[in-house]
Every structure is written in structure tokens, then in C-alpha cells.
């Protein structure tokens, strides 16, 4: 889709301008509700909010550096069955990719959904955001954006964005119906909205916004950011693989794990209704611990931590979108994002698959190809 529209920035406040754009959408007859990051009055934490009253968009924080939850799971919950009206969801690129994977797993639907994506300069981990918000108060988002887009650099490296964000090479919202372009356009009086689907094209036309030509600076700035992120990503992956290339190193990597399962809960693509690790299978009898300790002389408690993470790697590495929520919620500060991104890249590369890239591409383990992994199975076609 080629339709592009300009949005005038109000009083140099990009976030407020996008909030007004969302309000314009909600006031139209095209959507019944909007899902967007939102800051309650006098509170620091930014959380997704499901809004039907346009006046409640007053506290919208669409570009906040807070990333407490990947909203893909919430959109899945809102669209699994008909919600009774069309929903517009403002999502980060990694949230869009996660939702695409959930749709493939029949955990959500795009039928009553308009996805609005934004260029993403990154986010802070929870602890860092709390400290940043305490320092800057309700100006935290504006300060973050000022730093993120200073000198036309589409990054927030000086703020030490989350490791997953520093290694993200997909910071633009592919797969959105409407994409809000920010890279390369700041500072400036306008931002641009791009229609990427027929549904987005129709909505943009009905909103009556000023049509414009796509700014070439946006694409070049995004490419520059991706180039720098790609280098950082490769360095991160090499360091992580060197630190986990034996079972002994891997056990040491997870030595601080307390089996809280926060990573499983926060992961947007870990969707099982019942996890095997929450069943009686891993509710061992006391005598079992005594046998293990007797056989080895001692046994680490809690048990099964390494097995849990190996199982998660096998389970979600084909669908991992690298959002970093696993690390964000870990109380022991285990660098989970680095490891899962590293494993996911290797797994997805083996299947020539990129999680969340296309809603029409089936997940690797959902399809069969006769000529797949011939070097492993040792069977040639026709034999």
C-alpha cells in the first residue's frame, strides 16, 4: 500500500500527537476500542489499557520506554473470539511479530483488529525505567525520545536500553495496518503514517488526513540503525554461545534460577494452557530427593532448573521474536534474552524461517518437507 499521511506534531510532543491520532481513530465509526500503553494519573508504571471512551486517552503513553508486558498475549485474548467490535491496537514491532505467531497457533485473529505499529527506538528494563521515571517524572517519555532521536540517531544507546533492544534488527513495524514512521524524521514539525494493508489504506482515507509523499530519510535512518544493531547482535550472540557451549557452562549460566517461572509467564509465545512443569510430574516425593542426594553426595535445590530452560528453548525457539520479556521479569537477573535470542536465531536459520515475519508462512514444525535436513536423516529423494 502506498498511501502516506502527515500528522502535525503538537507543541513538539510526539507522544501526545500520536495519542491525539488514536483519539481521532476512536472517535470515528471505524473502531470500538483502542489498546495502548497508558499512564494512570500520578503513577510511574506504564501498562496497556483497553479504552472505549476517547477522553480516557488523555493518559496515553504510546512511545514510553516502559515495556512491562508484551501486549501480543493481550491482543490474543481480545481477539480469540469476536469482541463485538473492531479493536485498534498500538504495538511495538516485536509485539506485532509475537501476535503473528499466536495467530498461526490459533490463539488470536486479525478479523476484528487494526494493528497500528510505531518505529521503536527501544525500551528500558523495568528497574531502569523506574529509576528513570523517578528522576524525570511525567517528563520521562519526552526525555527518552529527546535522547533517542538526538542528532538524527535512531537509537537510545546512551540510556542503555534493554539488551534485547540493542540487538533488535527489526525496529520498524512490518505487518501493521498502519505504521507510524519516526526514524529520520526528528526533529521536525511532522511525523508520517504509512498504510501497509488495504484495511489501513481505507482507514487512513476515512480519517481525512493530509496526504503526503513518503520521506526517504525514514528508510535510510532505519537502515543505518539496523546496520548498527546487526553488529551488536552478532557480538552478543558470539559472547553468549561462548558462555554456554557446554552443559557445565549452561548449568552455571542458570545457577541463579529459582524456578519462579516468570520467564514462562511473560513470554508472549509460550501459550500452553497447562505447562508440564506446573503438573505433578515435577512435584517430586521427598524420597526422590534423598535418592538423588545419596547417589551424588548432594543435589542442588531447587531441582530441574536446567531441564526447565532446555525444555523452553526446544519449545519456543522457532517462535521467539526476541522481545526480551524473559530477562525483564527475571528476579535473579539471568541474561535470558541473550541466550534465547541466540538459540532462536540458530533454530530459525536452520528452518529458513523468521518468526512473525509473515502471517501466511506456517511454523516450521507444522509443515513437512521431503527434502528437509537430508544431511541428518540420511535419506535421499527417490531412495
For the segment 51-78, what is each residue's pLDDT rounded down to a tens digit?
999 999 988 999 999 999 999 999 999 9
List beta partners, residue 193.
Answer: 5, 180
Domain limit, last residue, from 182, 205, 233:
233
| 4-8 and 87-91 beta bridge pairing | unpaired
What DSSP character marks residue 213? P
In terms of residue numbers, what domain contains 346?
Answer: 235-377
List beta partners, residue 37.
Answer: 48
276/164 same-domain check: no
Chain centre to alpha carbon of residue 199? 23
Split into its structural domains, the chain has a count of 2
Instruction: Judge whether 383 lies within some domain.
Output: no
Instruction: Judge whether 152 lies within some domain.
Output: yes
For range 18-25, the mean pLDDT: 93
86/122 same-domain check: yes
211/330 same-domain check: no
Chain centre to alpha carbon of residue 168? 10
Instruction: Judge whether 24 lies within some domain.
Output: yes
pLDDT in tens, 280-291: 888 889 999 999
348/266 same-domain check: yes
204/263 same-domain check: no
40/143 same-domain check: yes
Instruction: Judge whether 101 lies within some domain.
Output: yes
Q: Is the pLDDT of residue 157 over 50?
A: no
Kindly compute the dihedral angle of the four CA atoms of residues 329, 266, 321, 248, in this order, to the nearest 10 degrees: 60
122/157 same-domain check: yes
For range 331-341, the mean pLDDT: 96
180/304 same-domain check: no
**Ranges 12-21, 119-128, 140-149, 172-181: which has the least confidence:** 140-149
Q: State the pLDDT at residue 368.
A: 65
152/43 same-domain check: yes
- Dihedral sign for Cα atoms in the order 329, 330, 333, 336: negative
The per-residue pLDDT of the chain, averaged, comes to 88
CB 40 within 8 A of CB 68: no
Confidence band of 267 (pLDDT split at 50, 70, 90): very high
219/314 same-domain check: no
Cα separation, 5 vs 71, in Å, equals: 26
Instruction: Judge whether 382 lies within some domain.
Output: no
197/326 same-domain check: no
Instruction: Judge whether 75 lies within some domain.
Output: yes
| 87-91 and 33-38 beta bridge pairing | parallel
Domain limit, last residue, from 199, 233, 267:
233
Question: Which secondary-structure segment (H or E) carries 7?
Answer: strand 4-8
Grid cell locating 292: 538423588
Domain limit, last residue, from 203, 233, 263:
233
Instruction: Judge whether 51 lies within some domain.
Output: yes
Q: State the pLDDT at residue 188.
A: 61
165/298 same-domain check: no
Contacts of 249 (CB under 8 A, 6+ apart): 243
Amino acid at each position: 500500500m502506498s498511501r502516506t499521511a502527515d500528522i502535525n506534531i503538537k507543541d513538539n510532543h510526539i507522544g501526545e500527537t500520536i495519542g491525539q491520532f488514536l483519539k481521532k481513530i476512536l472517535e470515528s465509526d471505524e473502531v470500538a476500542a483502542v489498546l495502548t500503553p497508558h499512564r494512570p494519573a500520578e503513577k510511574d508504571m506504564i501498562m496497556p489499557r483497553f479504552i472505549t471512551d476517547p477522553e480516557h486517552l488523555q493518559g496515553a503513553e504510546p512511545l514510553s520506554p516502559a515495556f512491562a508486558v508484551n501486549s501480543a498475549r493481550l491482543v490474543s485474548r481480545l481477539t480469540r473470539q469476536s469482541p463485538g467490535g473492531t479493536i485498534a491496537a498500538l504495538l511495538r514491532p516485536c509485539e506485532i511479530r509475537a501476535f503473528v505467531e499466536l495467530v498461526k497457533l490459533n490463539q488470536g485473529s486479525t478479523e476484528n483488529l487494526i494493528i497500528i505499529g510505531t518505529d521503536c527506538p527501544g525500551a528500558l528494563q523495568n528497574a531502569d525505567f523506574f529509576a528513570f521515571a523517578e528522576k524525570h517524572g511525567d517528563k520521562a517519555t519526552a526525555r527518552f525520545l529527546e535522547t533517542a532521536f538526538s542528532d538524527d540517531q535512531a537509537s537510545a544507546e546512551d540510556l542503555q536500553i534493554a539488551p534485547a533492544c540493542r540487538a533488535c534488527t527489526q525496529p520498524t513495524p512490518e505487518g501493521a495496518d498502519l505504521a507510524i514512521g519516526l526514524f529520520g524524521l526528528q526533529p521536525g514539525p511532522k511525523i508520517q503514517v504509512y498504510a501497509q494493508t488495504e484495511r489501513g489504506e481505507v482507514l487512513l482515507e476515512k480519517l481525512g488526513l493530509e496526504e503526503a509523499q513518503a520521506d526517504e530519510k525514514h528508510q535510510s535512518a532505519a537502515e543505518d540503525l539496523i546496520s548498527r544493531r546487526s553488529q551488536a547482535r552478532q557480538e552478543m550472540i558470539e559472547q553468549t554461545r561462548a558462555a554456554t557451549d557446554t552443559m557445565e557452562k549452561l548449568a552455571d549460566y542458570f545457577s541463579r534460577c529459582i524456578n519462579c517461572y516468570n520467564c514462562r509467564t511473560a513470554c508472549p509465545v509460550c501459550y500452553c494452557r497447562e505447562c508440564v512443569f506446573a503438573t505433578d510430574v515435577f512435584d517430586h516425593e521427598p524420597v526422590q530427593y534423598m535418592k538423588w542426594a545419596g547417589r551424588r553426595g548432594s543435589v542442588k535445590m531447587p531441582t530441574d532448573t536446567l531441564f526447565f530452560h532446555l525444555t523452553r528453548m526446544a519449545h519456543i525457539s522457532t517462535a521467539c521474536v526476541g522481545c526480551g520479556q524473559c530477562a525483564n521479569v527475571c528476579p535473579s537477573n539471568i541474561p535470558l534474552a541473550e541466550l534465547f535470542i541466540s538459540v532462536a536465531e540458530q533454530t530459525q536459520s536452520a528452518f529458513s524461517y523468521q518468526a512473525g515475519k509473515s502471517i501466511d508462512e506456517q511454523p516450521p514444525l507444522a509443515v513437512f518437507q521431503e527434502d528437509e535436513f537430508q544431511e541428518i536423516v540420511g535419506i535421499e529423494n527417490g531412495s
